[in-house]
Structure 1
Amino acid sequence: MEEQQDQDTGRAHWGFLAFFTGLGGYHLAILAFTAATADRFAEVDVTDPPVLGPLLLLVFLPNVLLGLGPVVISWYRGNGPNSDFGLIPTRRDLKVGLAAGGAALLAAWLLGALLLRINPDRSSSLDEIEALSGGRTIWLAAAALFVFLGAPLTEELLTRGALWQALAHYKIPRLVILALTAVVFAFLHEESWRVLSLFAQGLAIGAARMITGRVASSVVAHATNNLLPAVYLYTG
């Protein structure tokens, strides 16, 4: 059973459809959320934002749609998410994922320190989430849990799942796929000042996917990479 689960999940002729469905849902959700809240928060002081409480979790809805697109298309056009992407981690997925995640953390630390010296006083999306939560433990805990587990799953389904298999279907070399998915991963975060760091992290996380042929390993690597940011978000 373990050997069967360890098999490379291969290619998908519907990969680009799944990728653009997820990415399109993400941007549509952002537009809808912006349109729905623009007037309501037009006069809010950004230096003293309101505490949104449970509404804070809506911030993560676009991210959920990143992974929902590939899952839905996999159900309808493929053999199901676990069969197509290899989502249930094996021992090998865990070992490779933890090692790759550690490498991603190291890259983030080294390049992050360098980039902060070049561009100091840069805030991150985590700071905004913490401000909107008003320091409420329950909302910070929910947000931190999503950063640690939810975001890695949805983002990996999109990049190292749907996009990777779409490119593999057209027989693009694996190293090129690794680089392209890392580029998409970096720009997906929309933090231009640390694109270089995100690209390096994407290479490390994607290496897990390339070694095992399964998305589960890159999810483990991504979650490992996100552990410290999640802890920082919760503890402040």
Structure 2
Amino acid sequence: MNAPQTPEPVGDPPAGLRWWAILRGLGERPADALFDTPAKPHRWGFGAFVVSFGAFLLVSVTLSALLRPAPGARIGQFELVAVLALPTLTGALVAVLITMLRGNGPLADLRLRWNWRHAGIGLAIGAIALVPTLYATRIWAAWVGNDQANSAVGKVLDGATMSPVLAVVVFLHLWLVGPLCEEIVYRGLLWGAVERLGWGRWAAFVLSTMVFAVAHFEPERTPLLLFIAIPMGLARMYTGGLLASIVVHQVNNLLPALGMLLIMTGVIPA
């Protein structure tokens, strides 16, 4: 009787195939054990995203019409804060309410739970992505011009001065609150709608990234926004939860928000 053969060790695949295996694994790995608690399938899908995004548009258009300054005048400080913050907050609030009415709430349906490991992963991905994002922004600005490369928020705040308190409120919204709200809508609600159809994580990653870039309604910046959104989607896909993508988004927004704060308080010229 022959002795059982010991399988020969298999060497590492070539570098290209190894990276491809890692990327495939991102879409195939099971969700983190943090989210393994049983929950009933939620009853919302793409319609929930449409309602949430529609609420964002409705508030944005309504405020723009109601608070439009007279010719030659500038919009007031409080009105400016409302135009910047309320639409995004409304869209996220509607998303959360939908998960409560048609599902298991945001913690379960949107995978929105605090976890130190996921926060650290998001911080690491955000820090790593910061350098290529800054270079991409500079290259894009050199190609299309600074005016075209400037964000819609930057154009709204261009030349605006505020009291220190309101300037800090805008800074905190741009840095922390805005990214949280956008991630709830795009890589929370929209991502969950794609997964509910069984399309897989790569489909959710691609669709949420594209919609995120296009939904900013800044066609001259859409390619740049696509590039910026990639690390956020990868963080969402790798951890299986929303926290990491929120942290990546907040890391990405920190420097622009800080620049806006310094301009609004008159520390540096516009």
Task: Tell whether the 8 Å contact from 2:42 to 2:99 is kept in structure 1 after alignment.
Answer: no
The aligned amino acid for 1:99 is: A
Counterpart in 2 of 1:214?
Answer: 241
Counterpart in 1 of 2:121?
Answer: 96
SS at match of 2:146: coil
Of 46, 55, 64 in structure 2, the residue corresponding to residue 25 of structure 1 is 55
Deviations 1:13-49 (A, max 9, x none): 40323211210101111221122134xx24135xxx3
Whole-angstrom CA distance in 2 between matches of 1:30 and 1:128: 13
Counterpart in 1 of 2:268?
Answer: none
Task: Tell whether the 8 Å contact from 1:97 to 1:221 is kept in structure 2 after alignment.
Answer: yes
Counterpart in 1 of 2:11?
Answer: none
SS at match of 2:112: coil
TM-aligned CA deviation for residue 211 of structure 1: 0.7
The aligned amino acid for 2:244 is: S
Give the 3 Å change call, closer, same or farther, for CA 9–152 of structure 1 in structure 2. Answer: farther
Tell me which structure has the larger Cα radius of gyration. Answer: 2
TM-aligned CA deviation for residue 82 of structure 1: 1.3
Query: 1:183-222 to 2 correspondence within 5 Å?
Result: 183-222=210-249
Counterpart in 2 of 1:120?
Answer: 145
Task: Tell whether the 8 Å contact from 2:119 to 2:247 is kept in structure 1 after alignment.
Answer: yes
Percent identity for Structure 1 against Structure 2: 29
The aligned amino acid for 1:56 is: L
The aligned amino acid for 1:220 is: V
Task: Tell whether the 8 Å contact from 2:42 to 2:102 is kept in structure 1 after alignment.
Answer: no
TM-aligned CA deviation for residue 12 of structure 1: 4.3
Whole-angstrom CA distance in 2 between matches of 1:83 and 1:176: 21
TM-aligned CA deviation for residue 7 of structure 1: 4.1
Whole-angstrom CA distance in 2 between matches of 1:12 and 1:79: 6
Deviations 1:170-213 (A, max 9, x none): 11132222111111111222222221121112111011110111
Which of the pair has the greater relative contact order for Cα pairs under 8 Å at 6+ separation? Answer: 1
Task: Tell whether the 8 Å contact from 1:81 to 1:87 is kept in structure 2 after alignment.
Answer: yes
Give the 3 Å change call, closer, same or farther, for CA 144–210 of structure 1 in structure 2. Answer: same
Question: Structure 2: any 5+ residue segments left out of the alignment?
Answer: 1-31, 264-270
Of 68, 78, 81 in structure 2, the residue corresponding to residue 54 of structure 1 is 78
Question: Mean Cα displacement is larger for which, 195-204 or 120-129?
Answer: 120-129
Task: Tell whether the 8 Å contact from 1:6 to 1:90 is kept in structure 2 after alignment.
Answer: no
TM-aligned CA deviation for residue 95 of structure 1: 1.7
Counterpart in 2 of 1:43?
Answer: 71
Task: Tell whether the 8 Å contact from 1:23 to 1:66 is kept in structure 2 after alignment.
Answer: yes
The aligned amino acid for 1:141 is: V
SS at match of 2:159: helix
Question: Structure 1: any 5+ residue segments left out of the alignment?
Answer: none
Whole-angstrom CA distance in 2 between matches of 1:128 and 1:109: 21
Question: Mean Cα displacement is larger for which, 98-107 or 52-61?
Answer: 98-107
Counterpart in 2 of 1:5?
Answer: 34
RMSD of aligned C-alpha atoms?
2.2
Give the TM-score normalised by structure 2: 0.77
Kindly indicate which of the two structures has a greater share of residues assigned to helix.
Answer: 1
Whole-angstrom CA distance in 2 between matches of 1:217 and 1:20: 24
Counterpart in 1 of 2:9?
Answer: none
Task: Tell whether the 8 Å contact from 1:9 to 1:86 is kept in structure 2 after alignment.
Answer: no
Give the TM-score normalised by structure 1: 0.87
The aligned amino acid for 1:118 is: W
Aligned pair count reads: 227
Whole-angstrom CA distance in 2 between matches of 1:106 and 1:206: 17
The aligned amino acid for 1:128 is: V
